[in-house]
Amino acid sequence: MTTEEMRVLELNSEYLGVSLGTLMENAGREVARVITNIEDIDESRILILCGTGGNGGDGLVAARHLQEAGAFVKVVLIGDPHRISSPDTKKNWEILQNLYAIPSEILKTERAVKRCSSISEANIIIDALLGFGLSSKVREPISTAIRLINKVSGVKYSIDVPSGMNSDSGKSMGTAVNAAYTITMHAPKPGLIQNSELTGELHVVPIGIPAEAYHICGLGDLWLFNQPRRTDSHKGDYGRILVVGGSDVYSGAPALTGMAALRTGADLATILAPSLVAPSIRAYSPNLMVQGLQSPILDIDSVDTVLDLALQNDVVALGPGLGMADGTKAAFKEIAEALASLSKPLVIDADGLKALSTTGQIFEADNTILTPHWGELQVLLNRRSKGIPDDESRLELAQEAASKYGAVVILKGAVDIIAEPEGRFKFNKTGTPAMTVGGTGDVLTGIAAALLAQGKGAFHAAAAAAFVSGLAGERAVHDLGERILATDCIERIPLVMR
């Protein structure tokens, strides 16, 4: 399990009510259990070297459990306790200060680490310095601590990954602990398999992550898309979105999609609309760039214009308010085929879905999202049924559509279902009945397009989009009551992402 996948699971567990502190407590207990099963701890002097992050917190918890099992345990904190980054680690450090049976020492500098005799005196050394996700060179004083750990004869255990190892690649980031045993949480990290020399004997332990954390849209899914922007960012770095839609009947839909994309973080949104409605869309907001087609509808003569503009953008949102004229359906078929051949990231919604059902087009699931409601899903699958089935049946049908079209499907409903062709799925439970108001589907399309532009793949973008869209609706209802508009949801996208 990669660094990103593990972080998503942890945060989604927290969203479900299983706190990071609970996971830390479980991790420390499991570390102690593995060590007591392997070692005769009654005769051992155990030294736990802790960093100031979550990995150090796991070590602090393990200290209590090992001491309770009869070991002589000492803890050394490498770094300043006032700079402990994890609230749960800080809490466990404070607990340790009340426990006279477990002596502790603070080493803030490289010189202090070099003068520490406890490292060479210990029979068992537990490395809880750095956890998964390290991406830069190990800094002092931890790098000195790692070198000293590797020099001494005590049996070395690493918690989660050997400190200094990149958990995804297995690469040593300057220096890394050469562990005899690694006790990793929940699932093996790729680097542990790729660099077995540093890993030693691998033990995978459960820490109480619920199965639902794999299948719920939560804070972890949003975390993937909510990282700080680089200081050297330029216009366009975070997405150029092209919205192809609009007709003489529906002029607001593409505007809602474009504004939602901008509010989600896309840098630029261009609306390509028929000549009759382009002026009204242009008047909607100065934030949108609007280009008019030469014809009153999207027709076969518009295809080259769409494709030329698609090449200048990162993601195409195709369908909002498009209409179902025969010429539009013919144009859609050619556009969809061409964009699929170009592997252009694509979100298809509304009338685009109805047109898609007649094409037989197959896409690439990593860069294509379909956003049907129940009625549109039935059109995509060419079947009709009375009423809306239960979530399990909806999931089966969403997966069928995903396989049929080679795309990720967001099946909208009281519970949204995100499905991909290979069988992976998630449920999204954010949202409110007030979101039955017209336009909220167009908002979801814009959110999905903006997130798809960040390059994390269609499944992750779809899960986060459904989560954000539902939360924006909930926030709008909280602020305004149940009589909300789609624009109310758009205005609250930045709030719920923050």
DSSP per position, 151-215: HS-SEEEEESS-TTB-TTT--BSS-----SEEEEESS--HHHHHTHHHH-EEEEE-----THHHH
pLDDT in tens, 158-211: 999 999 999 999 999 999 999 999 999 999 999 999 999 999 999 999 999 999
- Binned at pLDDT 50, 70 and 90, residue 385 comes out as confident
- Residue 365 structure tokens: 């699931």
Prediction pTM value:
0.94
- Binned at pLDDT 50, 70 and 90, residue 388 comes out as confident
What is the per-residue pLDDT for 201? 98
- Residue 258 structure tokens: 């474009």
Task: Give me the helices (H) in 211-292, please.
Answer: 212-215, 219-223, 252-264, 278-284
- Taking the C-alpha atoms of residue 78 and residue 137, their distance in angstroms, rounded to an integer, is 17
- Binned at pLDDT 50, 70 and 90, residue 14 comes out as very high
What is the per-residue pLDDT for 64? 98
Residue 434, pLDDT above cutoff 90: yes
What is the per-residue pLDDT for 92? 98
The residues near 34 (Cβ < 8 Å, ≥ 6 apart) are 157, 181, 183, 203, 205
What is the per-residue pLDDT for 231? 92
What is the per-residue pLDDT for 384? 87
| Rounded average pLDDT over 445-467 | 98
Q: Which domains does the chain have, with CATH numbers?
A: 3-215 (3.40.50.10260), 219-497 (3.40.1190.20)
What is the per-residue pLDDT for 387? 81
What is the per-residue pLDDT for 114? 95
pLDDT in tens, 239-277: 999 999 998 888 899 999 999 999 999 999 999 999 989
Residue 9, pLDDT above cutoff 90: yes
* Nearest partner of 334 among 366, 364, 361, 363, judged by Cα: 361
What is the per-residue pLDDT for 227? 86
- Sheet (strand 268-273) strand order: 289-292, 268-273, 240-244, 315-318, 346-348, 368-370, 408-411, 416-419, 425-428
What is the per-residue pLDDT for 364? 97
Residue 491, pLDDT above cutoff 90: yes
- Binned at pLDDT 50, 70 and 90, residue 372 comes out as very high
What is the per-residue pLDDT for 487? 98
Strand partners, 201: 181
- Binned at pLDDT 50, 70 and 90, residue 391 comes out as very high
What is the per-residue pLDDT for 386? 79
| Rounded average pLDDT over 58-70 | 97
- Binned at pLDDT 50, 70 and 90, residue 216 comes out as very high
- Residue 480 structure tokens: 């305004």
* Nearest partner of 487 among 321, 318, 263, 289, judged by Cα: 263
| Rounded average pLDDT over 343-349 | 98
What is the per-residue pLDDT for 139? 95
What is the per-residue pLDDT for 485? 98
Residue type for 23, please? L
Residue 446, pLDDT above cutoff 90: yes
pLDDT in tens, 224-239: 999 889 899 999 999 9
- Residue 375 structure tokens: 């009625």
Characterize the bridge pairing of strands 416-419 and 408-411: antiparallel
